[in-house]
Amino acid sequence: MQAQTASKSKLGGLINSYYPSLTKSEQKVATVVLEQMEKALYYSVTDLADVAEVGETTVLRFCRKIGMKGYQEFKLAMAKDLSSMSQEEESDPSKPTGFIQSIAAYTKNAVDETVNKLDEETLEEAIRLLSGAKSIHFFGVGTSGLTALDAKNRFLRIGYRSDAVIDPHIQSMTAATVKEGDVVVGLSISGSTKDTIDSLTLAKENGASVIAITYYARSPITKLADAVLLSGGKESPLEGGSMIAKISQLFVIDLLCTGLALHNKEFSLGMKEKTARAVVDKIY
């Protein structure tokens, strides 16, 4: 979206109306949003602050100045504006939909993006931590909670006793009981999920190692982690729970699981057979 088009949008008009009353630092934030709203939609608060060359508190003050409760509400307003603009463009009957091909392309691009963002040394460090863990806990809520459940299933099949904790209260209690030698894997696409971050903070204070799987390299969750694994598939507030972002998370889980299986091949093969036999009677 060009700056001129952004200015005509609902949020753009709101920002312009407040622009004269903003401080010079807040005006820098406003200018970045107006000039590159499509990019800003996927910025974390830290990213936007860096691009605008201001502090994070300035970004939060800017959001409140224009009537938003916080940064997430501001991003939701951006997403609504961009969505309505996109719908206007797609309303042209002469343009083919091709949504099947589009979704397939987005999915492939998300996996490719994950491959490009992942650091092999960090992946190996995460596998090393998991291999020597006394216990493994996957923390996630919402869509990331579903990924946590799948991760537990994958790890059990290769013989690693693990737990998926998707209730914030149970997360907090679990975090209070972990200790040195335990590993907690935090899943959050935004890297800013408060419940997950609060639980990871407590787990870290109790001596557990933390592995973060997130889209944003500069986000609160990465400050807590001993190993940060970046996944592709960014999503806006209106796309929360998108399958593409979840597929990227699952791809990272698959890399961890496969890496662990290769690390202890004979044990993993034996446990795969053992767990398969345990459920063989469940199938007709």
- 240-255 pLDDT tens trace: 557 888 999 999 999 9
Residue 237: band (very low, low, confident or very high) from pLDDT cuts 50, 70, 90: low
Query: Cα–Cα distance between 163 and 177 in angstroms, integer?
Result: 13
| Model-wide pTM > 0.85 | no
Are 266 and 158 in the same domain? Answer: yes
Summarize pLDDT for 97-138 with one digit per residue, the tens.
Answer: 577 888 888 888 889 889 988 999 999 999 999 999 999 999
Final residue before a domain boundary, out of 90, 115, 134:
90
Collapsing DSSP to helix, strand or coil, 180 comes out as coil
Count the residues in the chain: 284
Percentage of the chain beyond pLDDT 90 is 51
Are 10 and 55 in the same domain? Answer: yes
Question: Would residue 95 count as lying in a domain?
Answer: no
Which CATH number is 175's domain given?
Answer: 3.40.50.10490
Q: What are phi and psi of 241, to 5 degrees?
A: 85, 15
Question: Would residue 259 count as lying in a domain?
Answer: yes
Q: Which domain holds residue 25?
A: 3-90
In total, how many domains does the chain have?
Answer: 2
Are 189 and 82 in the same domain? Answer: no
Are 125 and 63 in the same domain? Answer: no
Residue 1: band (very low, low, confident or very high) from pLDDT cuts 50, 70, 90: very low
Are 69 and 111 in the same domain? Answer: no
pLDDT at residue 16 in the model: 84
What's the burial of 147, exposed, middle or buried (CB within 10 Å: 0-12/13-18/19+)? buried
CB 151 within 8 A of CB 231: no
Which CATH number is 69's domain given?
Answer: 1.10.10.10
Are 110 and 142 in the same domain? Answer: yes
Summarize pLDDT for 41-63 with one digit per residue, the tens.
Answer: 888 888 899 999 999 999 999 99
Question: Which contiguous run of DSSP H or E holds residue 204?
Answer: helix 194-205
Q: Which residues contact 264 (CB under 8 A, 6 or more apart)?
A: 131
Are 251 and 159 in the same domain? Answer: yes
Show the tokens assigned to 210.
């933390």
Question: Would residue 22 count as lying in a domain?
Answer: yes
Average pLDDT score over residue span 161-186: 96
Query: Cα–Cα distance between 78 and 40 in angstroms, integer?
Result: 9
Summarize pLDDT for 198-212 with one digit per residue, the tens.
Answer: 999 999 999 999 999
pLDDT at residue 29 in the model: 94
Backbone region of residue 164 per phi and psi (left: phi > 0; alpha: psi in -120 to 50; beta: other values): beta
